[in-house]
Structure 1
Amino acid sequence: MQLRTDCKNGKKLSALGFGCMRFPTSGGRIDVDASEKLILSAVQRGVNYLDTAYAYNGNEAALGEILARNPGLRDKVNIATKLPIPRCQTQDDFDTYLSRSLERLGTDRVDYYLIHNVTSVGAWERLEELGIKEWARRQKEAGRIGQIGFSYHGCEADFPTLLDSYDWDFCQIQYNYMNEHYQAGTAGLKAAAERGIPVIIMEPLLGGKLASELPAAAQTVLEQANISTDPVRLALRWVWNHPEVTLVLSGMNAMQQLDQNIETANAALPCSLTAEEARAIEIARAFIAERYKVPCTGCGYCLPCPKGVNIPMCFAAYNTSFAHGWYQGMHQYIAASGAMEGKAHFASDCVQCGACQKKCPQHIDIPKELISVKRRLQVPGLPSIVRLGTRFMTR
């Protein structure tokens, strides 16, 4: 496994980190046995960074069970988890959520602890007023936290200010070849590196958009450049090509994904992307930008919707209708409604309450975009037709 150095503490971190948020599931719950096989295989082959969060439903507990089943595993890995800042109203809440995370994980320390989903300078200032700096100092001295950092989902302009607001040990940003000028972007990546702050990358495949969901035109460009028919390798290599990147997280839920990503990580050295590959990405980027209308990564932070709308799936279907054709998008939209389970909820069920928009790390105007979904994919009478068909099939 390629190792890159954490310039703050000198640790050698695997270039590939395991993003636990997308652990495999079965029956709507995390499949701990399948997840264990992936984790053990990853660690055996050199992955030494596991990323989870308090807010990932059942995730910390699943990882904790895997650690408990395998004595000695804890000391081979660096664990990263995150403080759910919207739930923190007093300094005591910081203690509460860290303690719960430690209990779930079955450990006495978190190696990399993140202030989760910082979206603005104002969000950080609120935490400062609650005394988070002093609290973090005490936790580090007590050995409960190794490194303290933050994950960022705000605008490009605020990022340097946040970098200078505290003596951060690391930061985590969304970065891929479609997001050079989105959120922290390339400018933020370089700003952190200039300050000697390690950078962890999330969403290197833009929630799968740069993997299996590439528009046909973009895929053709890559194939004609005789680079690779596999867009995943190229997208990951593009991120690792930046020497400022310390580690790239990938949410792997199948052994094939793990095998491929480890193989790619071992060869994806800084500044190794060829000029031909870089040109092909530039052309493919233009095709993708034209066809993906809503920058949803499918993270699910917007859920649950009070009206049962599967917001990420609605946006995936909408984007598919532009990238791969209206009929394919329509088929996906019907599936997204939950009609096959007998409980159909469409974009038209949105009541514009705005609860989802407040939680979206991509700052998407979700109620507005759901109207666009309805206009494009919801033909007149569709809900009635689908519900009638569902009743007929379930007789």
Structure 2
Amino acid sequence: MLYRNNPKNGDELSILGFGAMRLPMKEDMSIDEAKATEQLRYAIDNGVNYVDTAWPYHMGASEPFLASALADGYREKVRLATKLPTWLVNSREDMDRFLNAQLERLNTDHIDYYLIHGLNGGSWEKMKELGVTVFLDSAKADGRIINAGFSFHGNGKDFPVIVDDYDWDFCQIQYNYMDERNQAGTEGLEYAASKGLGVVIMEPLRGGNLASPVPPEVECIWNEAQTERSAAEWGLRWVWDHPEVTVVLSGMNELSQIKENLRIADEAEPNMLTESELQLVGNVESKYREMMKAGCTGCRYCMPCPASVDIPTCLETYNNLHMFKDEMSSKMMYAMRLAGVVSLDEPHFASQCVKCGECLERCPQDLPIPDLLEEVVRDLEGDDLDERVKMVKMMFFRE
């Protein structure tokens, strides 16, 4: 296992982190605790020392599971990360209440890496108004948390604002070769690192979509490589090639996945990919983009929309549906990202479009956005949208 230094505190963290959001499950959808414990302890025994969870993972069961899985001395071997559920916080007192509950659920007296969960510009402003910076200072002072950070799912322009608004120890961003210009992106990665923050990466394989199944058109490109590697290995190596990256989280739920990722993490040094290998990954990205139904670059010049449609996110989810052919996941992600449940605001669905045409005047790609939004409604909304929104609210304990 290779390790990288968190420049803010000197911690030596394993470049592979264990994400506890996609643990193996039984047929009744509960965590297969025996299997998950075996997998987690195997990863730790082989060098993983960063474990990440959150309040809502596995419908609230992830944190209590880790309390038992990290018994027998395993808690002392890892830096444990969990997150404050921002969408449930309505007061300064709520912050202490959730943190204290998490300490009890995790059976620990401190959280090594504590994150404010899923920030964007609006939710960060709300958290500041409620006193989150005072909360973090207090919790660090009394030892309940050791390092303070945030995870981010907002617009790129909001990311440096949040980085600069508090003396963070680390941050967590979505990053992979398809998301260099999405959310925080490469610019955000480099900005956070320039400020001395450790950077934890989530979704290095876009929820597994960049690993399997691989479209034949993409497989042909990977087969051109001089060194034979799986699509998952190429994706992970690409992220680890960036020296600004500290830890890459992987939601591993099969022992074969853990063993493959451990093998890669034994040798994935920064700047190891050759120019020809980087070009190969670039060719794969281009092929995926050719397969997109909408040529949206995520520049957000179309925003804000007078009808509150989040046009770039609608088109991104629509493209993912057609690139990766995973209808169930795409429809759930559409509801999760656009219902306003986690972002603490109003819905932003494509069906809210009133065809005012303002986006047409702003789009540098000259996309027929209102027509594309009609296709989004057809493919991603449907009669079951309300049920999916209810499921999202249940997942995040909003009703």
Task: Report the TM range for the smaller structure's normalisation.
Answer: 0.7 to 0.9
CA deviation digits over 1:342-381, x for unaligned, max 9? xxxxx8xxxx9999531477x9965559963675699xxx
Question: 1:318-329, aligned counterparts within 5 Å?
Answer: none
Classify 1:217/1:191 alpha carbon distance in 2 versus 1 (closer, same or farther; 3 Å). same
Query: C-alpha deviations, 1:241-283, integer Å up to 9, x for none?
Result: 0000011000000000000001001111000011111011111
Q: Distance in 2 between matches of 1:10 and 1:377?
A: 45
Instruction: Verify: 1:60 aligned to 2:63, yes or no.
Output: yes
**Secondary structure of 1:79's match?**
strand
Residue 30 of structure 1: aligned partner:
31
Q: Distance in 2 between matches of 1:170 and 1:79?
A: 13
Gaps of 5+ in 1: 296-314, 324-328, 338-346, 379-395
Give the C-alpha shift of residue 211 in structure 1.
Answer: 0.2
Residues 1:241 and 2:223 aligned together: no
Cα RMSD over matched residues?
3.0
Q: Is the 8 A contact 2:168 2:197 kept in 1?
A: yes
Aligned to 2:269: 269
TM-score (norm 2): 0.77
The offset of 1:317, in angstroms, is 11
- Does the CA contact (< 8 Å) of 1:318 and 1:373 recur in 2? no
The answer to whether 1:79 aligns with 2:80 is yes
Partner of 1:49: 50
| 8 A Cα contact 2:293 2:322, kept in partner | no
Corresponding position of 1:358: 340
Q: Does 1:181 align with 2:181?
A: yes
State the 1:215 CA deviation. 2.3
The unaligned stretches of length 5 or more in structure 2 are 297-315, 352-371, 382-399
Q: Give the C-alpha shift of residue 229 in structure 1.
A: 4.5
What one-letter code is carried by the residue in structure 1 that aligns with 2:284? A
Rate the CA distance shift 1:11–1:24 in 2: closer, same or farther, 3 A. Answer: same
Paired residue total: 335
Higher relative contact order (Cα pairs below 8 Å, separated by 6+ residues): 2
Q: Residues 355, 77 of structure 1: CA spacing in aligned structure 2 closer, same or farther, 3 A cutoff?
A: closer
Aligned-partner Cα distance in 1 for 2:283–2:214: 13
- Structure 1 residue runs of 4+, over 3 Å off? 292-295, 315-323, 352-356, 363-378
Q: Within the alignment, does 1:157 sit opposite 2:157 as a pair? A: yes
* C-alpha distance in 1 between matches for 2:187 and 2:243: 14
Percent identity over paired residues? 42
Structure 1's 229 and 71: CA in aligned 2 closer, same or farther, altered over 3 A?
A: closer
Q: Distance in 2 between matches of 1:355 and 1:190?
A: 25
1:263-307: CA deviation from partner (whole Å, max 9, x where unpaired): 001111000011111011111101112325599xxxxxxxxxxxx
Q: What per-residue deviation string (whole Å, max 9, x for no partner) do you get for residues 45-75 of structure 1?
A: 00000000012121111111212xx321111
Decide whether the 8 Å contact of 2:292 with 2:322 is kept in 1: no
Could you tell me which residue of structure 2 aligns to residue 18 of structure 1?
18
